[in-house]
Structure 1
């Protein structure tokens, strides 16, 4: 008779064990799901992607200028920049503007590739590298194309991320 009772309890114990294991797994899965939704790494990745997208657009903007409207081009540059870079651009004198308008060329920058190399969300700073193709079309001549590399710094402002440095990397530099 004792053997019969043990045989009847065997499936009951197995069922209880299965329920306990299933509940444990469900608890772990739920905790993992909630934790993934609040993961700082996810927020960091989103910020990095936003910095890259913004930086690419701003580098293209700052490597583009149409001689037909130099003042408007410089105004766009000022909208995309901050800090010392913006100060340098704002200090563009009338003689330089006249020279830019007088050369009769339209420069169009296109970012071929870019990568964020540093991001500090706490201080609101980032660095990236960008490879840019600049096509220069001059009235009456075929356009010429140059490829350039830039070290770029971005700073978070109340209006969003803006370029704070755009420095050419010389050919042959690593």
Structure 2
């Protein structure tokens, strides 16, 4: 009778050990998939949109009068949709005016944040604070600060700006 009780205890311990191992495996798998699934993908998309958006906003605030066509080409490469269409309509008179102005504008994004991201639709909205240094021959460089609301769209070539609107800057 004692041998039967010992055998029953051993079977019970074996079953309990097996159940604990299955639970530990399931818990580990659940943790891993939660840590590496949609949340990680969403975070990666958010970071990519923000980094690319910062670069593109700076690019659309940069233009060297020595190479207006090259600068406009960079603007076209950085844009899509309505913004791209608007930039593509830049006429020769405007290009000549930009060149005659003899100014080198260099944009630098000081701070930026995404306000919206729809990873499934491939769209994002961003707010950016931009410092633009305007250098003209014979004068000291002037620094201008602007804020922008930008719309980004994911294209086969990556994120592009589909809208860029200047926001009013307060006088506090």
Q: Please give the TM-score of this superposition, normalised by the length of structure 2.
A: 0.87
Cα distance in 2 between the residues matched to 1:87 and 1:23 = 59
Structure 2 unpaired stretches of 5+? none
Alignment partner, residue 30 of structure 1: 29
Cα distance in 2 between the residues matched to 1:136 and 1:144 = 5
Alignment partner, residue 67 of structure 2: 69
Deviation at 1:156, TM superposition (A): 1.6
Matches within 5 A, 1:72-151: 72-151=70-149
CA offsets, 1:34-77, max 9 Å, x none?
A: 3433x212111111111111111111110000010111100110
CA offsets, 1:12-39, max 9 Å, x none?
A: 45676455334422331123223433x2
The list of structure 1 runs, each at least 4 consecutive aligned residues, that deviate by more than 3 angstroms after superposition, is 8-20
Q: What is the root-mean-square deviation in Å for CA atoms of aligned residues?
A: 2.2
Cα distance in 2 between the residues matched to 1:10 and 1:23 = 21
